[in-house]
């Protein structure tokens, strides 16, 4: 079973497919966030652009003869995306994060440093991925990662594009903008155990420490949006972390977007952020805080703590729209 974005991605591959989803995500953000139109250069020229993609492995993308550097994503992908959307973000303000599942958290962390260092007032984060491309399906099948009758602990492939705007509180207040959530903290760590390594030990110790750093109030009773996708190694790692955290996280509500969307790869962290933010807006979040958790095949783990826009004292934090 797959979860395609029907009417958008059919017939497109690789960069073309990413462009289709990224362009629509940006246009949706402009409308939903009531942001200035692309031609308002004064707003967008001071914005940084973070593009998040899958890791560029030739084994997954045969169109690549060899591993490529970040300049490829900056010029061939981001540059064309800016032309399509009309956003007047200078190319020198573009940053690329080919980091898979932890890409959104990595981009958010750098965006927060840029904003806190007064190098920009806002950062646009765009993440895309598709596990439904023919070459990617072959890559997943060759590694026995797809869910089917003979492999019930596989993943269901999906695809998604997301766009987020991280903004300094003073900037959003000046334009009287809408706030969906406060970014209260970001944590990244490396287990040192890539999924394909024979000696890989995903025992949850590093993930437990990462989650504990994002839940200062114990026990944490909010939502934990996790990128579990049906694969055993992900469940084992989270299970190990929960066993170590004990009552500190036992009362949290676990939300798994992949049960509805499939695994959306590098876009999964952004999907988790959007889900948590909309839960705040629509009133079905369990508490005023949520954690978005990500596990990457490379061995890296990430956690993002989000707060309700009405959280007391939140004006000192970063805004997310």
Instruction: Tell me if domain 14-174 and domain 181-320 are identical in fold.
Output: yes
Q: Is 262 helix (H, G, I), strand (E, B) or coil?
A: coil
What integer best gives the mean pLDDT of the chain? 92
Mean pLDDT of 127-152: 95
Give pLDDT tens digits for 186-214: 999 999 888 875 556 678 999 999 999 98
Cα 107 to Cα 97: distance, rounded to the nearest angstrom: 7
State the pLDDT at residue 194.
Answer: 87
State the pLDDT at residue 316.
Answer: 52
| Percent of the chain residues topping a pLDDT of 90 | 81
Confidence of residue 64 (pLDDT cuts 50, 70, 90): confident
Mean pLDDT of 103-121: 96
State the pLDDT at residue 75.
Answer: 87
State the pLDDT at residue 29.
Answer: 97
Q: Which pTM was predicted?
A: 0.94
Q: Which CATH class is domain 14-174?
A: alpha beta
Q: Which CATH class is domain 181-320?
A: alpha beta
Give yes or no for residue 135 having a pLDDT over 60.
yes
Give pLDDT tens digits for 67-103: 676 688 988 999 999 999 999 999 999 999 999 999 9
The residue that leads in pLDDT, 313 or 87, is 87
Give yes or no for residue 321 having a pLDDT over 70.
no
State the pLDDT at residue 215.
Answer: 74
Domain segments of the chain: what residues? 14-174, 181-320
Give yes or no for residue 315 having a pLDDT over 60.
no
Confidence of residue 318 (pLDDT cuts 50, 70, 90): low
Three-class HEC string of 210-257? HHHHHCCCCCCCCEEEECCCCCHHHHHHHHHHHHHHHHHCCCCEEECC
Report the DSSP beta bridge partners of residue 123: 48, 166
Q: Is 127 helix (H, G, I), strand (E, B) or coil?
A: strand
CB atoms within 10 A of CB 130: 27
């Amino acid at each position: 079973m797959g979860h395609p974005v029907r009417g958008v991605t059919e017939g497109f591959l690789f960069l073309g497919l990413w462009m289709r989803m990224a362009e629509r995500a940006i246009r949706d953000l402009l409308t939903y966030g009531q942001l200035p139109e692309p031609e308002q250069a004064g707003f967008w020229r001071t914005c940084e652009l973070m593009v998040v993609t899958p890791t560029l492995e030739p084994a997954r993308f045969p169109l690549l003869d060899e591993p490529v550097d970040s300049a490829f994503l900056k010029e061939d992908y981001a540059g064309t995306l800016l032309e399509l959307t009309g956003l007047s973000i200078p190319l020198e303000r573009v940053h690329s994060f080919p980091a898979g599942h932890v890409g959104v958290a990595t981009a958010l962390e750098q965006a927060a440093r840029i904003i806190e260092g007064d190098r920009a007032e806002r950062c646009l984060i765009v993440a895309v991925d598709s596990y439904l491309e023919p070459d990617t399906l072959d890559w997943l099948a060759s590694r026995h990662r797809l869910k089917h009758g003979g492999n019930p602990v596989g993943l269901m492939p999906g695809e998604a594009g997301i766009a987020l705007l991280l903004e300094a509180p003073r900037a959003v207040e000046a334009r009287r903008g809408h706030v969906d959530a406060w970014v209260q903290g970001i944590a990244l760590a490396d287990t040192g155990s890539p999924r394909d390594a024979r000696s890989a030990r995903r025992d949850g110790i590093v993930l437990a420490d990462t989650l504990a750093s994002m839940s200062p109030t114990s026990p944490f009773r909010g939502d934990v949006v996790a990128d579990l996708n049906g694969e055993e190694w992900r469940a084992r790692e989270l299970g190990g972390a929960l066993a170590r955290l004990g009552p500190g996280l036992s009362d949290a509500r676990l939300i798994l977007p992949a049960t509805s969307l499939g695994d959306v790869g590098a876009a999964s962290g952004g999907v988790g952020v959007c889900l948590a933010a909309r839960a705040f807006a629509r009133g079905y979040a369990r508490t005023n805080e949520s954690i978005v958790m990500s596990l990457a095949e490379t061995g890296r783990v990430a956690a993002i703590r989000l707060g309700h826009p009405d959280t007391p004292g939140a004006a000192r934090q970063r805004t997310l729209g």
